[in-house]
Structure 1
Amino acid sequence: MVEPDLYDLMRSHIPEDHHSDFRMAIRDGLRLRHAGMGEEVIGYFGGLPELPEGVEWPGDGKAHYEHVASIDLAKLPALDLNLPESGRISVFGDTDGWAGAFRYFPEGLVLQEAGLPADLESDDRVFTRAEMTCAVVPTIPSTSWLEMHLLDADDEDKVFEQLDAFGDKFFTHSWSWHQLGGWANEIQGDRDLGLLPGSAAAQHFYPDGLPSGRVLLAQFDTDGKIGMGWGDFGTLYCFIEPGRLAARDFADVEVYWECH
């Protein structure tokens, strides 16, 4: 089940008196996928990035990172992330390590296709280029977050079992789950702050103030069609501190990957 009917699942698995809270926790994200014939192209996966003159291809000083994706912000639907309305974001990842890089280039900069660094060419560390499109989808917190914030202490065991079954069905997918914004689909951790300061959901679930943490900018899954892989069927994540996001300051985006 790739994109289950979220509300049908809610009605069949979550007690009715919790529906209002559950709906409040939902955040829209953009599912990023390979573009088909006639679909609007918003960017591309893999291939070579386009960089401004004088900007180096990111790396760790010892080797360069693979180019993961580049996205034209002017072509995106509105999201609660309040990203810039124009410009380009480019994401890079290190399949030999655990790191990566996130770059934002404002509109007006002249971008040109970068030459492939020798180390990436010699190691054949280049993802195949594929045009990208997107669709708005509902995203939800992890099952553990839902259990903590949605259910009551006196709920019966069967309610917890229903919620676990709900999570299993929702997060089951049969192709790569690339995403911009929304809740992260984390593999190992449960680090995603998820909710944005000032939102109705943040005020409801955290009346005393949001805890510290970061929210998801983007995630890129293992994608066999273009040779993209992160360890054992892993995912690359880009997280940002909410205050920096509000200021549109992308200088301290945390990029890393997890795997099974």
Structure 2
Amino acid sequence: MLTKKQLDLLEFIHKRVQRDGVPPSFDEMKDALDLRSKSGIHRLITALEERGFIRRLAHRARAIEIVKLPESMGGAPTSGFQPRVIDGPHPSPAQPANISPDEVQLFARELPVMGKIAAGVPIEAISHVDHHVAVPGQMLSSGGSHYALEVKGDSMIEAGINDGDVVIIRESSTADNGDIVVALVEDQEATLKRFHHNGTSIALEAANPAYETRVFPEDKVKVQGKLVGLIRTY
């Protein structure tokens, strides 16, 4: 069931798409619903997407697509649970042009999945793009490049990171104590661990008591990036 504001916004978007072939801008939606800020529009759009009425796309400006309409607007009746499916992989899309900072949050971005990362004993260094994954724009921190890695192992389970999860990493060569980082050990092995720098040593700490903290001379460990998000598939 939709609230009146959600229904009003869906109807406005539908009419504009029917008339112009493209959805309205944030400003147009805000004015049409007589809202004070575009953040209210963002919440309404998120609610419509969660209920399966719209889909947000990454390859065009104002990337909103009507998926279905409620019966009150002439849509087909629905019953029961309908899962949302994200197909992949897709080629990396171009950055949409002429959008406001508020609208940027609506867009998913395609990130390269650079193979697997060990959350356990370190595995071979990451050196290739395996495939791509779509990541919500609001998950990515501002500034810097990002990439994704598939987790292999259970050493970070107490930090909420499970085997098979996809972690989102912001490229960085530095980290603060307590950060979860991708660390390259002796230029050969990559691992996902909590970072601690103490004097001339670096400790890579697991989040599972079954794994010991590993300590290396600081010149044997290179930080490759910091964890900023996680995607889990059920």
What band does the TM-score fall into relative to the shorter chain? under 0.3
| TM-score normalised to structure 1 length | 0.22
Q: Which structure has more RCO (C-alpha within 8 Å, separation ≥ 6)?
A: 1
Q: Which structure has the greater CA radius of gyration?
A: 2
Q: Please, what TM-score do these two structures have when normalized by structure 2?
A: 0.24
